[in-house]
Amino acid sequence: MESSLTQSGTSAIDSSAKAPVLVYLFSALKWLFFASIFGYLASWKTHNPEFLNGWSFLTVGRVQAVYTTAFVYGFGCNIAFGMGLWLISRLSGESLRYTIVLIIAAFVWNIALTVGLVGIFMGHLNAFEFLELPSYVKLPLLLASLVVSVWGLLTFKNRKNADVFASEWYLLAAFLVFPWIQVVTQVMLFTKPAPGVVQALVASWVASNLVWLWFGSIAVAGLYYLIPKLLGKQILGYGLAKIGFIVLIFAGSWMGAAKLVGGPLPAWMITSGIAASLLMIIFFSITGINLFGTVWKHRSRICDNGILLFVGFASLALILSGIGVLLVSLRGFAEVTQFTIFLDAHRFLILYGVFSMTMFALIYYSFPKLLGREWAMDFMISTHFWIAFIGILLVVVPLAIGGWQQGAAMSDASVPFADIVRHASYWMVSRSMAWIFLTIGHLCLILNVLATLRPECEAIVEELTRTEDTSAGGVES
Amino acid sequence: MKNFISLFFIVFAGIAISWFGLLVVGANSLSPSEEFETTMVVAGDDVIITGHEGLAARGEQVYRALACAACHTQQVRRPGYGGDFERAWGSRQSVARDYMLQDTVVLGTKRLGPDLTNVGARHDAEWFFKHLYNPGSLSEVSNVPSYSFLFTEREMSDGNSSNSLKLEGNDIPEEGFEVVPTDDAVALVAYLQSLNLDYDLPESKRIK
């Protein structure tokens, strides 16, 4: 880790990373706000489909695709790029070079994404979950993410620190996997589509790797970095961390097929996914002990620092998501939960509870360091946490219970289908309530960022394009 | 794992093995071939597996453009596993061979609406048009929103057009006007009507 470096070394690294990381951060926050509105709308439409109905572009399926895409590719990828680059340069003790290329990549990514979202509104969407973006924007997206990946890998390759920390394995894996799965998507689904149900298998493989090997890796990297930093303590059982990583790479990458249990695919494919999911017990146990175990051991200090709340929650959510992975891969359990809102609860727990909460923690940790200035509203950090906490509970608990009931009722043919959907709707109302909380949480973060940047709001554009150290921090005019 | 090359190799190998083992092997084993044929004789009947052609192929694009798969699946699980069979969503399990010639396979992941694998066998064209125009107008209770933007209301020129909807109650247009489906609606209904499992395969035969 960079503790061996002098303070001036760290600030030189931060100043090299400042411009590109802030561009990705601001893009992520912009999309987060956009996704909040569409998350609310998409949720509302699932229990009240006639709401704002009557135009093809606001059809329930398209609004859902817009929300998912804005959240995953807008907020998720931008923040993963930004925080991933910052972490890799910090941990490598190596400045980011030629950052203008990274900034151009950010603009390419975000413009292509905007075009893609307009395309989805117009109906140019694909029917695969997480891969809804029209195929005509896939190439610019691939190129932009390839730039980030190459920069991340080269920064690691040229590292000054001899020690390689667990976070770096995960970052390297993420940077390598993300372009790969995009190429697989493009080639095997659109350029030369795979035959028949193999398309569903490809889509499931890509979605699973997007969640676990891309977002999951970035989140775990962030947690491995933040927990020892914030607590000033070593990771519990760090010697085992390597095994967890190897299991994620070799077993985690096979999990996708388990999602298709009961589907029209050869049994060996689904069995391979189930076996991989069971092997992942090793990853979840080790990473759970490493991360949550360390936080739990020092739990008396968790309320000292708002960022620790985010980190503690995310590492607990990682364990709970792991239990979820094991349960929904079992054939008997999946018989009930397959095709229900239970899977929405699980996915949300991973993408929001684990990934987004870790990213919020990283933002709260890195932003003052990049800017050389404290948060304007420090108290808002724990406020954001508790609001987000309520929001997550309001999504995950009702959807898990409602999803289980939905699945159990679907197996009983004497219950009319419309009654099942109506009953599930009551639970889904809770998700719409949750989006109000989540959105307020997002606004806490965005307002805090804006308040902290107030002294230089006018000069922001100039700030973004400058790559040298400005050391403009904290000067009130 | 301190070395860039070894770390790179581990990750590369991990993802390459799963990609090859699952997707490449899977694609090879499920391509139409001598072992996995698309025309055959089952119990004395000629069975020819087809993709979606003509109007139904265009309808499949409408189905995707309207993101119907957000709430509807197209896969029937085997009898005894979930209630698909008991709900009469299909009289047999759907298997890989059923989909092998479809350009885009939309299995779907969520059921906020019923499964559609065999929906063509359950309803006629008139029902589909009315259902899309105003789901509440049919006797079944339904959660699906209206897709009335797939229809146009126009002045009758010379009596009712042959394709105008026979509406009832509040849906009846003004005197001298009629509601007709757009090309998209016609294609979508053709697609929905083409969805059925009314044939046997060696690996999955209908249960009476």
Q: A242: domain CATH number?
A: 1.20.210.10
User: Total structural domains in chain A?
Assistant: 1
Q: Which of B14, B67, B113 sits opposite A62 (nearest CB)?
A: B67
Q: Are B1 and B10 in contact (CB under 8 A)?
A: yes
A124 vs A129: CA distance, rounded Å = 14
Residue range A147-179, pLDDT digits in tens: 999 999 999 999 988 888 999 999 999 999 999
Question: What's the CA gap between B101 and B103, in Å, rounded?
Answer: 6
CB contact under 8 A, B23 and A410: no
Q: What is the pLDDT of residue A476?
A: 41
Taking contacts as CB-CB distances below 8 angstroms, the residues of chain A near B33 are: none
Of A26, A36, A35, A27, nearest to A440 (Cα)? A36
Q: Is residue B204 part of a domain?
A: no
**pLDDT greater at residue A222 or residue B200:** A222
Looking at residues B180-185, what average pLDDT do you find? Answer: 93
Percent share of chain B, pLDDT over 70 = 99
B201 within domain boundaries: no
CB count within 10 Å of CB B55 equals 17
Element (DSSP H or E) covering residue B151 = strand B151-155
| Cβ contact A418–B143 (<8 Å) | yes
Q: Report if residue B123 sits inside a domain.
A: yes
Q: B147 and B47 in one domain?
A: yes
Say if residue B20 is in the same domain as residue B47: no
CB contact under 8 A, A54 and B107: no
Distance CA B48, CA B199 (A): 9
| Domain shared by B104 and B4, yes or no | no
Mutation site for A-interface testing, chosen from B1, B4, B8, B18 by largest number of A Cβ within 10 Å: B18
Range B193-208 average pLDDT: 88
| Overall number of domains in chain B | 2
Q: Would you say how long chain A is, in residues? A: 477
Q: Which residues of B touch A249 (CB under 8 A)?
A: 10-11, 14-15
Q: Which two tokens stand for residue B185?
A: 């609606």
A125·B2 Cβ contact <8 A? no
Burial profile B137-174: b = 16 or more Cβ within 10 angstroms, e = fewer? eeeeebbbbbbbbbbeeeeeeeeeeeebbebeeeeeee
- State the pLDDT at residue A4: 43
- Kindly state whether residues B7 and B50 are assigned to the same domain: no
In a domain, A138, yes or no: yes
Instruction: Indicate whether B139 and B175 sit together in one domain.
Output: yes
Q: Does residue A159 belong to any structural domain of this protein?
A: yes
The answer to whether residue A465 is domain-embedded is no
Q: Residue B138 domain-assigned?
A: yes
Whether residue B206 lies inside any domain: the answer is: no
User: Of A298, A323, A320, nearest to A229 (Cα)?
Assistant: A298
Contact state of B30 with A180 under an 8 Å Cβ cutoff: no
Q: How far is B38 from chain A (nearest CA, A)?
A: 12
Q: Which two tokens stand for residue A268?
A: 């060996």
Question: Do B82 and B57 lie in a common domain?
Answer: yes
pTM of the predicted model over 0.90: yes
> How far, in Å, CA of A141 to CA of A149, rounded?
12
Residue A76 forms part of a structural domain: yes
More confident: B73 or A461: B73
Q: Which of A82, A407, A57, B131 is nearest to A74 (CA)?
A: A82
Give the C-alpha distances (Å, rounded to integers) separating A16 from A12, A29, A155, A469, A474. 6, 21, 12, 7, 19
pLDDT more than 70, % of chain A: 94
Q: Residue B63: closest CA among chain A residues belongs to which residue? A: A127
Q: Has residue B33 been placed in a domain?
A: no
Do both B7 and B78 map to the same domain? no
CB contact under 8 A, A61 and B114: no
pLDDT of residue A439: 97
Contact B107 A269 (CB under 8 A): no
Name the residue range of residue A132's domain: 7-460
Residue B51: predicted pLDDT: 84
Residue A37 lies in a domain: yes
pLDDT for residue B172: 84
Domain membership of residue B2 as a residue range = 1-27
Q: Which residues pair with B47 in a beta bridge?
A: B40
Q: What is the dihedral of CA A394, A397, A399, A400, to 10 degrees?
A: 170
Residues of B in contact with A264 (CB under 8 A): 75, 93-96, 98-99, 107
**Three-state SS at B177:** strand
Asked if B100 and B3 sit in the same domain, the reply is: no
Least confident of A137-141, B159-163, B184-188: B159-163
SS in 3 state form for A306-357?
HHHHHHHHHHHHHHHHHHHHHHHHCHHHHHHHCCCCHHHHHHHHHHHHHHHH
DSSP string for B35-98: SS-SEEEETTEEEE-----THHHHHHHHHHHTTGGGT-----PPTTSSSTTTTTS-SS---HHH
Nearest partner of A398 among A13, A46, A4, judged by Cα: A46
A331 belongs to a structural domain: yes
Cβ–Cβ contacts within 10 Å for residue A28, how many? Answer: 24
In this predicted structure, what is the pLDDT of residue A7?
58
Alpha helices in A158-265 (DSSP H): 166-185, 198-209, 217-231, 241-250
Nearest partner of A276 among A244, A259, A251, A253, judged by Cα = A251
Beta bridge partners, A463, equal none
Judge whether A471 lies within some domain: no
Same domain, yes or no: B18 and B108: no
Check whether residue B22 and residue B48 sit in a common domain: no
- Which of these, A449, A444, A452, lies nearest to A476 by C-alpha position? A452
User: Residue B2: which of A164, A173, A341 has the nearest Cβ?
Assistant: A164
Report which DSSP code applies to B201: B
Cα separation, A64 vs A42, in Å, equals 5
pLDDT of residue B42: 82
pLDDT attached to residue A467: 53
A333: which residues sit within 8 A by CB, 6+ positions away? Answer: A327
Q: For residue A379, which phi and psi values (nearest 5 degrees)?
A: -65, -20
Cβ atoms of A307 and A381 within 8 Å: the answer is yes
Q: Could you tell me if A195 and A141 are in contact, meaning their C-beta atoms sit under 8 angstroms apart?
A: no
How many A×B Cβ pairs under 8 Å?
A: 212
Q: Is 0.90 exceeded by the ipTM?
A: yes
Residue A2 lies in a domain: no
Residues of chain B contacting A198 with CB distance shorter than 8 Å = 23, 26-27, 30
Q: With CB atoms and an 8 Å threshold, state whether A335 touches B141.
A: no
A356 CA to chain B: closest CA distance, Å?
23
Same domain, yes or no: B87 and B13: no
Task: Chain B: give the shortest CA distance to residue A318, in Å.
Answer: 21
Say if residues A29 and A445 touch (Cβ distance below 8 Å): yes
Q: What is the pLDDT of residues A269-278, one digit of tens each?
A: 999 999 999 9
Burial A229-249 (b: 16+ CB within 10 A, else e): bbbeeebbbbebbeebbbbbb
Q: What is the DSSP letter of A212?
A: I
Record: contact A50-B82, CB cut-off 8 A: no
In DSSP terms, B154 is beta-bridged to: B178
Domain check: are B48 and B83 in the same one? yes
Answer yes or no: do A196 and B99 touch at CB < 8 A.
yes
Convert A111-178 into a string of H (helix), E (strand) and C (coil).
Answer: HHHHHHHHHHHCCCCCCCCCCCCCHHHHHHHHHHHHHHHHHHHHHHHCCCCCCCCHHHHHHHHHHHHH
The per-residue pLDDT of chain B, averaged, comes to 88
Residue holding tokens 């620790």? A308
Q: Which CATH number covers residue B73?
A: 1.10.760.10
Residues of chain A with pLDDT below 70 are: 1-8, 456, 458, 460-477
